[in-house]
Amino acid sequence: MRLVLSMLMFVALVGVGYAQTGGHQFVGVAKCKTCHKKPEQGEQFKKWQASKHAEAFETLKSEESAKIAKEKGLTTPAYEAPECLKCHVTAYDADASMLGPKFVKEDGVQC
């Protein structure tokens, strides 16, 4: 499981570099699951879906996140604050041209 999560994070981080230099895009989990849900591919989508990364954005809507945001002195809700989004949403601040047509930020930490 850790290997899969590490691979997802690597893909997300490397994707930024490629997108800036080669015109690639963040495609999002909806696109990746097309192939990566199959047993012969290791069922990565299923593993991601069961992980905390799949729920990363949604956790920002919790009372606990609101409490943490308030303690940190944030003036916007956690689910809108860049300080929170930078870790809870892949490519939260990426240029729109870097986001594929199926990319949805609410899917959290993804492809």
Distances in whole angstroms, Cα of residue 10 to Cα of each of 15, 53, 64, 111: 8, 13, 28, 9
So what's the pLDDT on residue 23? 76
Domain that includes residue 43, residue range: 2-107
So what's the pLDDT on residue 11? 57
So what's the pLDDT on residue 51? 94
Task: For the chain, 111 residues long, give each residue's pLDDT as a single digit of tens.
Answer: 555 545 555 555 555 544 454 778 999 999 989 889 999 888 999 999 999 999 999 999 999 999 999 999 999 999 999 999 999 999 999 999 999 998 999 999 997
Structural domains counted in the chain: 1
So what's the pLDDT on residue 20? 53
